[in-house]
Amino acid sequence: MNYSELSTVMRRLALEAGEKIMQIYNSDDFEVKTKSDASPVTEADEAADALISAGLRAAFPDTALVTEEQAASHDQDVATFLIVDPLDGTKEFVNRRGDFTVNIAYVEDGVPVRGVVYAPAKERLFYTDSVGGSVEETGPFDPDTPGETKPLRVGKPDNSALMVVASKSHRDAATDDYIGKYAVHDMTSAGSSLKFCLVATGEADLYPRLGRTMEWDTAAGHAVLAGAGGRVVRFDDHTPLDYGKAGFANPFFIAYAPGVDLKEG
């Protein structure tokens, strides 16, 4: 894989998809349908998926592609592949809360090594560069011309006063009980893969997820966090979270900055 080309293409497609999403988000009304798993899907999900999928297939025709909105792509047995969630945080989108993202990632031998997370309503853009370091680009964004970037690095956690981020739409008692094992200075809620990015920027130290997620929900944020020096491990045994699992379903996991004294579940 040509990582320089990959970073350029993923960034461009994320921005173009974000523009399409925002056109629908800012319209007076949009249709919301229900998928077979009871999760919502909108015309924005479908339009962004079509744009990103076409762009990735044109640029990287020999690389497997897995996308949330194309069920046929979920039947593959792959370890190296591109993976897309064209609109992560559909509930945030439907409720016009702004915490939704475009996620595109490249997984190599089960490890997400490159990714882009774009939050168009928040005007925040995070991605891994050609050498795997993570950056945040400052807007305004031009799909064809990268702007100024600042390198991302996780913070140095203070285990007596941790900053914790948790899901906005999927918070539950089990998550609160686990967070209660830590000395928490402050806690914030965020939607979609923005939670990974908040750990990557040092705005949070710890993000535990005790709920159902799929690999397309997490791969891009995982790559951004890893490129900033962070880690993502399984909740049950604290081994690295890997990708290309059967059905592309994730176990519970913990994303964190090294130095956090991880607690058992």
> What residue type is 138 in one-letter code?
T
Is 87 labeled as ligand-binding? yes
Residue 147 annotated as lining a ligand binding site: no
Amino acid at 117: V
Q: Are strands 101-108 and 111-119 parallel, antiparallel or unpaired?
A: antiparallel
Residue 194 annotated in ligand binding: no
List phi, psi (to 5°) of 28: -65, -35
Task: Describe the chain by its helix, strand, coil percentages, rounded to 5.
Answer: 30, 30, 40
- Whose tokens are 């974000």? That residue is 18
Tell me whether residue 142 is annotated as binding. Answer: no
Which DSSP state fits 235? T
- Residue 176 counted as an annotated binding residue: no
Has 85 been labeled as part of a binding site?
yes
- 129 annotated as belonging to a binding site for a ligand: no
CA–CA distance, 165 with 246 (Å, rounded to integer): 28
User: Which residues are part of a known binding site for Mg(2+)?
Assistant: 68, 85, 87-88, 217
User: Which residues are part of a known binding site?
Assistant: 68, 85, 87-90, 217
User: Which residues are part of a known binding site for substrate?
Assistant: 68, 87-90, 217
